[in-house]
């Protein structure tokens, strides 16, 4: 870490964008002052925007690196480093890596094997050795429609510093997969199932949910409290589901599928998170509510890159255009995700906070990342 100045920049503060100079000392922001400076060694940003480092709460990107092709198990250390570097290059300086807990092992179709404990242990070991460019936390995606959820959750301890635990229920015919035709297309194309195999798969998952789903949901809430993790819901669809989320202590709703659910979440004090790919593509690949529709109705609080890391920055600038308010849009990927996860030391440009910074220039409508610093050290 070295002391430095970013000058001739447009600084995106929490509620305004101002021309000025940002001073970094060690790993912290030391000062923000108006106008440029001629101090020796200052980095001239040439009018570029300087933002807080982006905070990603839910990404499946690590799984893509671990299994780049069906049946290929890539060396995990190399995969983790590639994932880390990719996120750094897009301006993400803090990530909650989503890993599924809860396996389906007894059926012949679309088996989901246990992997989260072993992979997270490797991630934490690499983090402890200082091999990573950005900050990594764990996000456990607790699948209630599974057979092994409780035993997998019991393998984690408070020492793992699990940041988020989300309750997921992918039982066919409700929540994300209310539309069975969308579910069939997704599962059959991903796993190569025949029509008969898909029908058996649906029957098996429905029976599993009926047998253990309620117990698994209660266990997920219990283990979130035991681990000190922020509790998240997933794919809330009805006001009744939102009421249940509220009673469980949910703080963030991942990808509500209807405007009614999103509106009920905000009324209950639950932050609404939507996928940036949904926003950029103009709709949900599952046929659910469009992120843009929620943004237009002022029902969107947080963006997630979900399965495309670069979409987080692009999505934020898309919201800036939609709202005509850049600071508000940047808050959806910085200050608000920091607030809901209790990370009070980042997510804003302010003296005393971590020097997690991104230099960005918009070129032909596309935000281009021109520099990334984490803890005052350049990482991209």
pLDDT, tens digit (0-9, with 9 covering 90-100), for 218-255: 999 999 999 999 999 999 999 999 999 999 999 999 99
Q: Name every residue whose Cβ is closer than 8 Å to that of residue 218 and which is 6 or more positions away in sequence.
A: none
d(C-alpha 8, C-alpha 281), whole Å: 34
Q: The CATH number of the domain where 277 resides is what?
A: 3.20.20.140
User: 24 and 92 share a domain?
Assistant: no
The residue assigned the tokens 């108006």 is 34
d(C-alpha 94, C-alpha 353), whole Å: 14
pLDDT bin (cut points 50, 70, 90) of residue 72 is confident
Is 60 exceeded by the pLDDT of residue 168?
Answer: yes
User: 143 and 98 share a domain?
Assistant: yes
User: 180 and 275 share a domain?
Assistant: yes
Structure tokens at 378: 């350049």
Range of 82's domain? 54-345
- The model carries a pTM of 0.91
User: 158 and 60 share a domain?
Assistant: yes
Helix (H) or strand (E) holding 165, with range, is strand 162-168
Q: The CATH number of the domain where 373 resides is what?
A: 2.30.40.10
User: 368 and 320 share a domain?
Assistant: no
pLDDT single digits (tens) 133-161: 999 999 999 998 888 899 999 999 999 99
* Closest by Cα among 274, 276, 278 to 286: 278
Query: Given this model, what pLDDT does residue 110 score?
Result: 47
User: 37 and 95 share a domain?
Assistant: no
User: 47 and 178 share a domain?
Assistant: no
**Contact yes or no for 116/154 (Cβ under 8 A):** no
């Amino acid at each position: 870490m070295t002391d430095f100045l970013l000058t001739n920049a447009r600084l995106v503060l929490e509620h305004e964008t101002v021309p000025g100079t940002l001073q970094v000392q060690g790993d912290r922001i030391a000062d923000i002052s108006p106008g440029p400076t001629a101090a020796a060694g200052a980095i001239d940003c040439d009018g570029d925007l300087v933002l807080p480092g982006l905070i990603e709460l839910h990404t499946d990107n690590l799984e893509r690196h671990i299994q780049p092709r069906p049946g290929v198990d890539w060396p995990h250390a190399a995969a983790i480093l590639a994932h880390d570097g990719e996120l750094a290059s897009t301006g993400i300086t803090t990530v909650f890596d989503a890993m599924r807990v809860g396996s389906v092992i007894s059926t012949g179709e679309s088996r989901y094997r246990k992997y989260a404990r072993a992979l997270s242990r490797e991630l934490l070991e690499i983090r402890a050795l200082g091999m990573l460019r950005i900050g990594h936390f764990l996000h456990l995606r607790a699948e209630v429609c599974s057979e092994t959820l409780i035993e997998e959750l019991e393998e984690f301890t408070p020492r793992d510093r699990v940041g988020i635990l989300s309750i997921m229920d992918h039982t066919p015919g409700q929540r994300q997969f209310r539309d069975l035709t969308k579910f069939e297309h997704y599962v059959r194309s991903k796993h190569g199932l025949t029509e008969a195999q898909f029908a058996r798969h649906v029957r098996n998952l429905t029976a599993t949910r009926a047998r253990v789903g309620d117990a698994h949901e209660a266990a997920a809430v219990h283990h979130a409290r035991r681990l000190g993790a922020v509790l998240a819901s997933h794919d809330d669809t009805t006001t009744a589901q939102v009421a249940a989320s509220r009673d469980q202590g949910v703080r963030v709703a991942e990808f509500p599928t209807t405007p009614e659910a999103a509106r009920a979440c905000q009324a209950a004090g639950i932050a609404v998170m939507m996928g940036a790919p949904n926003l950029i593509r103009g709709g949900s690949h599952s046929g659910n509510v469009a992120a843009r529709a929620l943004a237009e109705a002022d029902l969107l609080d947080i963006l997630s890159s979900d399965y495309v890391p670069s979409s987080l920055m692009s999505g934020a600038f898309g919201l800036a255009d939609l709202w005509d308010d850049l600071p508000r849009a940047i808050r959806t990927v910085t200050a608000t995700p920091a607030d809901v996860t209790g990370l009070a030391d980042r997510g804003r440009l302010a003296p005393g906070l971590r020097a997690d910074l991104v230099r960005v220039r918009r070129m032909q409508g596309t935000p281009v990342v021109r520099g990334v610093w984490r803890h005052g050290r350049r990482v991209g």
